[in-house]
Structure 1
Amino acid sequence: MDKNGNPIFNSEKIESFNFENVEIISSYYTIKDNIDNKQSSVFINENPSLDDYWNFSTKLPTYYFMIADKGNVKGMLMLIPKKEDDSFFYNIIILGKNENFQVASKLKGKITENRAKELAGIKKTNAIVNDDVLKFGNKDFQILKYHDVIEEVKIIAKEKIIDNHDNENSNIEEYIKTESKGGKLDFKNTVEKYDGAFINFEGVLYNKKDFAILMWGAAVKKNGIKELNKAKLLWQEINERELTEPELKALRKGFETNF
């Protein structure tokens, strides 16, 4: 367990790359520091046998992938072998929606490429990797190539996470457009209730028009618009004009504020 009481399954980063305006980060669950590590949640034996190595390598997850949008993780995929045959499936988590589901892989293989290579690097296994085949225990096993996994992850991530996220953003923007004039995100009447011509907020005086923009900025950020420039463009689309410099400063302050 880690310091927060969570189970440990040690991994190492393979790579990160851009795809469809998001970043995909791939990682590999290693044999080393897991199979013979008592602190690992997948510990098997301090002195693993060949069967232990084989079972670990072919029955436990190999890869996981994070899908991030400007540093914010939107979803995760974990490649898991099926117990009954030489196939795999992805366990998928979509953050923010509390969704967790499985998608079958169309790929086939007994062992993934990174596992096969690591297994072959352990002297006592006498394993050998030859092109797409692992020789282990006098038998040949088909290797599932990492490149093929990546290509499948791209397809699944686009369909299940990226496009879903784009639709979600579109819904948020439509809600904001609808509610910004005469709705829940129209703060003109709210600020008119303040006495005087100006409102003092954190040592700065704002006229009521600009303070309504400040409140709007804080509200749209809370509703899911995380980029100031995106909020700026939305405001200008809704109001059909450019923001003035004082208005932009008010919007920026709203983004920095948690009401």
Structure 2
Amino acid sequence: MAALEFALPKRGQPLGRVKRWPTNWALVVIDAALVRLIFPIGGVGLALLAQDRGWGLFGWLDWSGAVAWIFAFVVLDFAVWLQHLASHKIPVFWRIHRMHHADSEVDVSTALRFHPIEILLSFIWKGAIIIALGGPAEAVLVFEIVLNGAALFNHANASLPLWLDKVLRLAIVTPDMHRVHHSIRRSETDSNYGFNLSVWDRLFGTYVAQPKLGHDGMELGLGPELTPKAHQLPFSLVIPFLSAERRTERSEINKS
């Protein structure tokens, strides 16, 4: 994805990778280390444990095979969409999640730019869903691979042909679709919550096709309170504890 966005960039990046990437990738290392330290068993390990103990829905119904695989994948994808929605609608979760949105540009590194607290909360949420389902472990493994790959894809600063974007977003979230979610306009930020399947935003009325100012004209990030310093690692880590107000649509319109 990094090579694709380098070869076919969608937007210019005035700040550049040199200033942004060290912080974003440092957060990846911190997040991975914390998860392995606190939850060494991992999501697949939880699924194996649930299967072995007969926990969860699949254990009770004795489901297995393709039906269990498809059901588990779809439920986990919806769970991630729902978690993302809650991260915007519940104030305490938004304070944590806004570190992800504070990035001044959106590219492949933004896909993994999450606060360690959010990563831990996300693991607890997904772990609870995995145990409630009771596996299958292989489906959980495939889901985790697809989820991370999809996040890298839809955050990429890559330019896809319009016809291809139109076809792909019927099923999955494309870079243009997800970029709308990173707009400085709150009405656009509060849309397109999907990370993999695009169906949930269409079903629940949170789908916005294109940004009002276009992909070249739209502003990304959270405004002057947070975004200018978001490429600094110490500042990024304390964003959840800062008291910057959420933007209002009126202030965004006036600014535009």
Task: Looking at secondary structure, tell me which structure has more strand per residue.
Answer: 1
What's the TM-score bracket when you normalise by the shorter of the two chains?
Answer: under 0.3
Q: Which has the higher contact order (CA 8 A, sep 6+)?
A: 2
TM-score, normalising length: structure 2: 0.21
TM-score, normalising length: structure 1: 0.21
Task: Looking at secondary structure, tell me which structure has more helix per residue.
Answer: 2
